[in-house]
Structure 1
Amino acid sequence: MPKISEKGKAMPSSPIRKLVPFAEAAKKRGVKVYHLNIGQPDIPTPQIALDAVRNCTDKVIEYSHSAGNESYRKGLAKYYKSIGVEIDHTQMLITTGGSEAITIALMTCLDPGDEVIIPEPFYANYNGFATQAGIVVKPITSSISNDFALPAISEFEKLITPKTKGIVICNPNNPTGYLYTKSELEQLAMLIKKYDLYLFSDEVYREFCYDGNEHFSAMNLPGLDQNVILMDSVSKRYSMCGVRIGALITRNKEVIDAAMKFAQARLCPPSYGQIAAEAALETPADYFVGVYNEYIARRNFMVEALNKMEGVYCPRPKGAFYTVVKLPIDDSDKFSQWLLDDFQYNGHTVMLAPATGFYATCGLGKNEVRIAYVLKIEDLKGAMECLDVALKQYPGRTI
């Protein structure tokens, strides 16, 4: 029989989704599974976005412009200006989710064999996007010992080779919840300038910054107009992950023109998704206040509950709605599967994302998991109670 490609063999499984069959089997056995493995908020999507789709009167669902509907791009440019990022609607492409924005950005700016540096742990699908684009990820390890702060710039510089073409950051960070400061980004900017690299900045969690910390966009780093590529998404901002609408934004016209050819090859972004996303731009401010307060409450409850468990350390996330947690276990992959295969407490169990899949360096993350605090506090209470009991019963416990 024909063989699959080497790229197909190299394509990594998602650590977030690879345990789904085990979760489905647990549910068939009647076990309730608390999903802390995936960033799927239970926050309602803004009504204005739902109504826009319901009230659509189009008789034909047509292709949009390959760059996305002009009315949406103009509205999105207005949104960015409202948060202090000056761009024009011609400096963006609407994409099929943030995932396509990242993939197109990598394919536009890098050749096969080129290298990008990414602080790890990082969003697991960056590995997949890099494999699709044929590029090489060079990880630089951040540590839970300092809550995953940006590694020293001198450590970045050690990794730079003639093949290095860019640095990828996610701010606020998925999976760690770390929020890079303006000072950290300015230090990174000096390196970008020195070696004339691209800075790919994933800012999909911009609205979720806590404890008085403010988000600083890489688009506002002076002197980097031709270097910064911003990737964004409406999935988490408006709790509508399934509409699959993102954006690639840059002031570099050559990048936009080249990226447009990739956009044309896939024809256009989803029509109904654009309708929902454009309407969501008019979401009332009190929606975000309510969402923000809810995530603060969830974070505070979860961090406190985790740090009360023997042998557990949970940093206090400054942004997004994730954290990487250190557990007293021998192997996070085994533990996460054991939770679904062999454990239940009062008919309940927990689904986690093993942190091994968020590292590119082999062997890291063995005693860490990513937890998404996207469930209401009532469910988080049940999940934390389950996890506490599970850690005491797990055969591979290390303390």
Structure 2
Amino acid sequence: MPKISEKGLQMPASPIRKLTPFADQAKRLGRKVYHLNIGQPDIETPESMLNAIKNIDFDVWAYTPSEGTLAYREKLTEYYNKLGYGITAADILVTVGGSEAITIAMQTCVNEGDEIIIPEPFYANYNGFACMSNVVVKPILSYIENGFALPPIAEFEKLITSKTKAIIICNPNNPTGYLYSREELEALKSLCLKYDLFLFSDEAYREFCYDGREFVSPMHLDGLDENVVIMDTVSKRYSACGARLGCLITKNKTVIAAGLKFAQARLSPGMVEQIAGAAAVDTPDSYFEKVNTEYTLRRDTLVNRLNSMDGVFCPNPGGAFYVVARLPIDNADAFCQWMLETFEYENQTVMMAPATGFYSTPGSGSNEVRMAYVLNTSDLNKAMDCLQEALKVYPGRQA
């Protein structure tokens, strides 16, 4: 029997999706499962996007340019320049979801065996993308006690070697919801300029900043144009995860030219998605204001319920729609599986993502879980009722 590749063996499973068979079995048993494991918003997609798809009129569903249609890229510049990015259509590569933007960035900017520093916990698929690109992840721990703030720059410098090529941040952060400050980004800027590093900025949750807090992008920092690569997606801000439409943005022309070759190798992003994406740019500010208000309410509901439980600690995040909570449990992976496989409260249970999969350092996150507050407050409260009861009877509860 032929053997699969070493890379296939090393490729990590998704902590977000790996427990799906247990959730499916719980549903077959008639249980209601509250999905807090995945960032799939229940907010309605803007009507303009849906209408653009309904009103499509073409005779041939053709390839688009590998870099994306000029019409869509020009429309995207309206969105980003409204935010102060100062880009042109030539600075954009349209990608098949934000995931492809990340893989193209890695493959374009980092050699096989070179290193990328990432504050952890981090978006779990960075590990997978790094494996695909033969890139080495050098994690740097952030801590739940201070809300997962950026580690001190001195700690970054300890990890820098001749093989270090880039730093990745996700801002606001997935999985922690931490929103990086201008001061933290200025510190990263100085570090990247000192060591001539790329700064990859995953900005999938840009529109989700709470309590009047400022969103700052590396694109807002002077003197960093050649170092910054933005990775973005329409999935979250327009509640359009199924569109699989993202982009890579940089003012570094060498990166754009090399990245385009990877884009050409996969041919092109979808035509229909780009038509919908162009329409989405005209989404009124009132849409985002309403969404922001709703997510703030959900965040407050979830954080307050968690912190009211005995032995539970959850920082109050400044953005995105996730929290990482520390629970009085022995093993997050075992607990999350037990919740689906064994536990039920009033014929209901909760699916969460074990935080271990969001770390690269062995042993980290063993008593933490990530939850996405993508359900309405009524369902969030019911989910928290289940969790509260589960923690009372879990065999591996810790003092």
Please provide the CA RMSD for this pair: 0.6
Distance 1:344 1:59 in 2: 53
Within-5 A mapping of 1:248-263: 248-263=248-263
Q: CA deviation at 1:97?
A: 0.3
Q: CA deviation at 1:276?
A: 1.3
The residue aligned with 2:295 is 295
Within-5 A mapping of 1:180-259: 180-259=180-259
Distance 2:311 2:304 in 1: 14
How many percent identity over aligned positions? 62
Q: CA deviation at 1:271?
A: 1.7
The residue aligned with 1:137 is 137
Q: CA deviation at 1:224?
A: 1.0
Within-5 A mapping of 1:11-26: 11-26=11-26
Within-5 A mapping of 1:347-366: 347-366=347-366
The residue aligned with 1:6 is 6
Q: CA deviation at 1:245?
A: 0.4
Paired amino acid for 2:388: D
Distance 1:105 1:391 in 2: 42
Could you tell me which runs of 5 or more consecutive residues in structure 1 were left unpaired when the two chains were aligned.
none
Could you tell me which runs of 5 or more consecutive residues in structure 2 were left unpaired when the two chains were aligned.
none
Q: C-alpha deviations, 1:325-348, integer Å up to 9, x for none? A: 000000000000000000011110
Q: CA deviation at 1:84?
A: 1.0
Paired amino acid for 2:39: G
Q: What TM-score do the two structures reach when normalised by structure 2?
A: 0.99
Paired amino acid for 2:24: E
Q: CA deviation at 1:74?
A: 0.3
Q: What SS does the aligned partner of 2:247 have?
A: strand
Q: CA deviation at 1:285?
A: 1.8
Q: Are 2:112 and 1:112 equivalent residues in the alignment?
A: yes
The residue aligned with 2:176 is 176
The residue aligned with 2:103 is 103
Q: Are 2:55 and 1:58 equivalent residues in the alignment?
A: no
Q: CA deviation at 1:315?
A: 0.4
The residue aligned with 1:276 is 276
Within-5 A mapping of 1:316-395: 316-395=316-395
The residue aligned with 1:125 is 125
Q: CA deviation at 1:272?
A: 1.5
Q: CA deviation at 1:222?
A: 1.4
Distance 2:60 2:23 in 1: 39
Paired amino acid for 1:164: T
Q: C-alpha deviations, 1:11-70, integer Å up to 9, x for none? A: 000000000010001100000100000000000000110111111111211100100111
Q: What SS does the aligned partner of 1:349 have?
A: strand
Q: CA deviation at 1:309?
A: 0.3
Q: What TM-score do the two structures reach when normalised by structure 1?
A: 0.99
Q: CA deviation at 1:191?
A: 0.6
Q: CA deviation at 1:223?
A: 1.1
Q: CA deviation at 1:124?
A: 0.1
Q: C-alpha deviations, 1:311-368, integer Å up to 9, x for none? A: 0001001000001000000000000000000001111000000000000000000000
Q: What SS does the aligned partner of 1:56 have?
A: coil
Q: What SS does the aligned partner of 2:8 have?
A: helix
The residue aligned with 2:285 is 285
Q: What SS does the aligned partner of 2:301 have?
A: helix
Distance 1:48 1:175 in 2: 30
Q: CA deviation at 1:283?
A: 1.0
Q: CA deviation at 1:277?
A: 1.0
Q: CA deviation at 1:280?
A: 0.7
Q: C-alpha deviations, 1:85-128, integer Å up to 9, x for none? A: 10000001000000000000000001110000000000000000
Q: CA deviation at 1:289?
A: 1.1
The residue aligned with 1:47 is 47
Q: C-alpha deviations, 1:120-166, integer Å up to 9, x for none? A: 00000000000000000000000001110000000000000100001
Q: What SS does the aligned partner of 2:101 have?
A: helix
Q: What SS does the aligned partner of 2:167 have?
A: strand
Where do 4+ consecutive residues of structure 1 move more than 4 Å?
Answer: none
The residue aligned with 1:157 is 157
Distance 1:387 1:270 in 2: 41
